Amino acid sequence: MAATASLELGSDLTPYGGVRPDEAWRAEVRRLAAEQNAVLLAHNYQLPEIQDIADHTGDSLGLSRIAATSDADTIIFCGVHFMAETAKILSPDKRVLIPDARAGCSLADSIDAEQLRAWKAEHPDAVVVSYVNTTAEVKAETDVCCTSSNAVDVVRSIPSDREVLFLPDQFLGAHVKRVTGRENLHIWAGECHVHAGINGAELAERAAANPGADLFVHPECGCATSALYLAGEGIVPSERVKILSTGDMVTQARATKSRSVLVATEVGMLHQLRKAAPEIDFQAVNDRASCRYMKMITPAALLRALREGRDEVHVDPVIAERARGAVQRMIEIGQPGGGE
């Protein structure tokens, strides 16, 4: 066994939860994952060491698609709880682990199933579109889920005369409404505390100080409207302003001709961007925009998950059954050959 003193959980108080993410840690994680036929999935906001050890790193849509088709026996989801729950809904017969079940999401907490049922009662004919950042119970009350990378396609797939209830993110909702021009789209007033905190004044200031830079902005950001205002007023050339999911940011990083990019999203994103395009100078618009839930998945927690089989994610089978259709529609829409 490759374990060394640095792999004794809690024996070494580094910022990584008590384990140094060194060669011994990497070897032990890979050995245990192979032994259990486990696939390691990591969201783009994870610590760099977690992103680098994963089999797949990506955005919430890409990781859901992998979870749905993987032939592994166990999925270890290095992300937040709703992401692991979505994997369990899609693959109910697999064991799904999250290295720390306390890794929640302030956006998912901004609406519960009872609140959604009350909202639906006010609009009985509306189609319910829920962002994937929601609990399984909310998904069970939903017609179709979406992520930031396919929200526009999902809403466009709904007949234009049908009312839409879009939840829970108000900034993503405003973005979808702007792009689709849809007046009958009602938006829940939820937000993510990390993205809401990246504000327009900060973005304008950073853009003025970096006149040649592209702006990559996640649609959950409080500054998404300001980014489009800067483009509309010609303050930043419109072709330099891009509203993108985390996965689309990586694709765009490979395509851009610009030498510097200002990034408005959670700071974990910088790691994948710098790997994708090392010649580009990527800077965070707000370098305090760190999601404490994402950072609960430490190297020590990942090792514990593999050694002790926890924290296992369970979704009530009745809820999972009711949520599955909405999640499956989400992974089909925007996929080549899978809908709009």
Q: Which is nearer to ligand 13P, 32 or 228 (CB)?
A: 228
Q: State yes or no: residue 185 binds ligand SF4 (CB under 6 A).
A: no
CB of residue 83 to ligand 13P, shortest distance in Å = 8
d(CA 211, CA 260): 10
Name the H helices within 167-316: 170-180, 193-196, 200-209, 224-232, 246-255, 269-276, 299-308
d(CA 162, CA 9): 54
Vertex 234 angle, CA 230 and 235, to 5°: 55
Q: Which residues touch 147 (CB under 8 Å, ≥6 apart)?
A: 59, 60, 61, 64, 131, 132, 245, 330
Considering CB distances under 5 to 8 angstroms, the limit depending on partner class, which of ligand 13P, ligand SF4, none binds residue 207? Answer: none
Q: Which is nearer to ligand SF4, 107 or 250 (CB)?
A: 107
Question: What's the helix, strand, coil split of the chain in %, to 5?
Answer: 45, 15, 40
Q: State yes or no: residue 110 binds ligand SF4 (CB under 6 A).
A: no
Site for ligand SF4 in 58-87 (CB under 6 A): 80
Binding mask 252-281 for ligand SF4 (x = CB under 6 A): --------------x---------------
Q: Which is nearer to ligand 13P, 138 or 192 (CB)?
A: 192
**Residue-level length of the chain:** 340
Q: State yes or no: residue 133 binds ligand SF4 (CB under 6 A).
A: yes
Binding mask 286-325 for ligand SF4 (x = CB under 6 A): -----x-xx-------------------------------
Considering CB distances under 5 to 8 angstroms, the limit depending on partner class, which of ligand 13P, ligand SF4, none binds residue 330? Answer: none
d(CA 223, CA 202): 8
Considering CB distances under 5 to 8 angstroms, the limit depending on partner class, which of ligand 13P, ligand SF4, none binds residue 293? Answer: ligand SF4
DSSP state of 312: B
DSSP state of 313: P
Q: Which is nearer to ligand 13P, 70 or 245 (CB)?
A: 245
> Which residues bind to ligand SF4, rule: CB under 6 A?
80, 105-107, 133, 192, 194-195, 266, 291, 293-294
